[in-house]
Amino acid sequence: SSHRKSYGQRAADHSNPAAQLLLHTIERKKSNLAVSVDLTKTSDFLKVIDVVGPYVCLIKTHIDILEDFTPDVIERLKLLSAKHDFVVFEDRKFADIGNTVALQYSSGVHKIASWSHITNAHPVPGPSVITGLASVGLPLGRGLLLLAQMSTEGSLATGSYTDDAVRMARAHREFVIGFIAQRRMDHVGTSPSSLPDGVEDFIILTPGVSLEMSGDSMGQQYRTPEKVILENGCDVIIVGRGIYGKGTGDALDVGCVALQAEKYRTEGWNAYLKRIGS
């Protein structure tokens, strides 16, 4: 299983350029930490990204929560991505018919496909959500994550829904590079010989990670980096408030944010080293 291979070795099991970029970036920076920058002011958003940039493989955005969005934000985000060598993932969670998601992905104010290496979709509409997004994203070398599970209490994305998400992904491996999930997915039944090339490698990015908190007041449930990487076999830890706190305006303590990012990077990487047995 891919579980005990190094990130760098696994890049060879992917044809998608965004998957290769992510795995090589993780290896190069020795970081499986992604920071989710859920801040509403552009100045805070860019400041946190610049501070955590050295410690992360990936920055996850919710571009539609910025109150003062202008296209210049994207130019600055691209500059920071080049400066700090991180991948960009817009957590858009597409969930409509193929024609609509293609428009939402390419157009509107945010033009997500033009700058985000990776985005994600709910499998609830069926395979057409993948083919709709792929019509825009594949020519640009983008990659897609399917939402196979969620971290929230009472989530409906469980059992056969999760398994069917994996089957949908297997049928579209050129574009679907992995999952947002709580654990690795290779338990979903298949014989390796039924796979096109006998190899299956999906990258698992997992949200709901904190060292200190067990949840929030709105249904979020947290696990530690060690638990998700070592026990649950996930590949990338996604951390938001555990790193930037409440993150409102003046309260943003840049030194503290950098320390937290370094701490989560170390926790995540050490858990990975244990997993691959080195």
> Which residues are near ligand 5IU by CB under 6 A?
36, 38, 62, 91, 147, 150-152, 180, 207-208, 220, 238-242
Establish whether 260 is an annotated binding residue: no
Establish whether 220 is an annotated binding residue: yes
Residue 48 CB, shortest distance to ligand 5IU, in Å, is: 12
Beta carbon nearer to ligand 5IU, 65 or 276: 65
Establish whether 38 is an annotated binding residue: yes
- Written in H, E and C, the secondary structure of 152-189 is CCCCCCCHHHHHHHHHHHHCCCCCEEEEECCCCCCCCC
Beta carbon nearer to ligand 5IU, 113 or 209: 209
75: three-class secondary structure by DSSP:
helix
Establish whether 31 is an annotated binding residue: no
Side chain identity, residue 62: H
Q: Which of 30, 41, 93, 227 is catalytic?
A: 93
Q: How many of the other CB atoms lie within 10 Å of CB of 111?
A: 14
Side chain identity, residue 99: N
Extended beta strands in the chain, E state: 33-37, 58-61, 87-94, 118-121, 143-147, 176-180, 203-206, 236-239
Residue 151 CB, shortest distance to ligand 5IU, in Å, is: 4
Give yes or no: 68 in active site.
no
For residue 152, what are the contacts with CB-CB under 8 A and spacing of at least 6? Answer: 208, 219, 220, 221
Which tokens sit at 104? Answer: 């939402």
Q: Which of 13, 50, 85, 96 is catalytic?
A: 96
Residue 147 CB, shortest distance to ligand 5IU, in Å, is: 5
224: three-class secondary structure by DSSP:
coil
Residue 5 CB, shortest distance to ligand 5IU, in Å, is: 25
Beta carbon nearer to ligand 5IU, 17 or 125: 125
Instruction: Please check whether residue 240 is in contact with residue 35, taking contact to mean a CB–CB distance below 8 angstroms.
Output: yes
Q: Which residue has the tokens 């951390």?
A: 239
Residue 101 CB, shortest distance to ligand 5IU, in Å, is: 16
Q: How many residues are listed for the chain in this entry?
A: 278
Establish whether 240 is an annotated binding residue: yes
Report which residue's Cβ sits closest to ligand 5IU.
240
Beta carbon nearer to ligand 5IU, 11 or 63: 63
Q: Mutual orientation of helices 42-52 and 71-84 as an angle, nearest 10°?
A: 10
Beta carbon nearer to ligand 5IU, 113 or 239: 239
Give yes or no: 93 in active site.
yes
Establish whether 5 is an annotated binding residue: no
Give yes or no: 163 in active site.
no
Binding residues for substrate, as ranges, are 38, 60, 151, 220, 240-241
Which positions are catalytic?
A: 91, 93, 96
For the annotated binding site, the residues are: 38, 60, 151, 220, 240-241
